Amino acid sequence: KQEVTQIPAALSVPEGENLVLNCSFTDSAIYNLQWFRQDPGKGLTSLLLIQSSQREQTSGRLNASLDKSSGRSTLYIAASQPGDSATYLCAATTAGGTSYGKLTFGQGTILTVHP
């Protein structure tokens, strides 16, 4: 059974810092890994989707990497801003068996960027 873990659970940084959020998964047989942002009381916004054959994906100040063999992904946020404050979730789509595109989520990292 796939399990996804995110470290740290919470992170507080001053504005302008570069930061890294970590995600690990136990079953390396995945189709892809997706990073989401969730603001308080809101839905999930997709940030990046990285396929199992890819090593990196970039969108603006965000860069996601994937090391499938070690079961790890990282989300790098450059030059953080107060508007980046949110909960960040990673989720894996496990391949094989009765795969039906279900996402297995980590518990999330609560990010606070203070001015």
Partner 1 sequence: NAGVTQTPKFRVLKTGQSMTLLCAQDMNHEYMYWYRQDPGMGLRLIHYSVGEGTTAKGEVPDGYNVSRLKKQNFLLGLESAAPSQTSVYFCASRWDRIHEQYFGPGTRLTVT
Q: Given the rule CB under 8 A, which residues bind partner 1?
A: 31-32, 34, 36, 42-46, 49, 51, 89, 91, 93, 95, 99-103, 105-108
Residue located via tokens 């396929």: 51
Of the two residues 96 and 115, which places its CB atom closer to partner 1 in the complex?
A: 96
Query: Tokens 């595109």 appear where?
Result: 101
CB of 8 to partner 1, least distance (A): 16
Alpha-carbon gap, residue 18 to 6, rounded angstroms:
18
Shortest gap between Cβ of 62 and partner 1 (angstroms)? 15
Q: Phi and psi (nearest 5°) for 113?
A: -110, 115
Shorter beta-carbon distance to partner 1: residue 8 or 14: 8
Closest CA to 52 of 69, 35, 75: 69
* C-beta of 50 vs 77, nearer to partner 1: 50
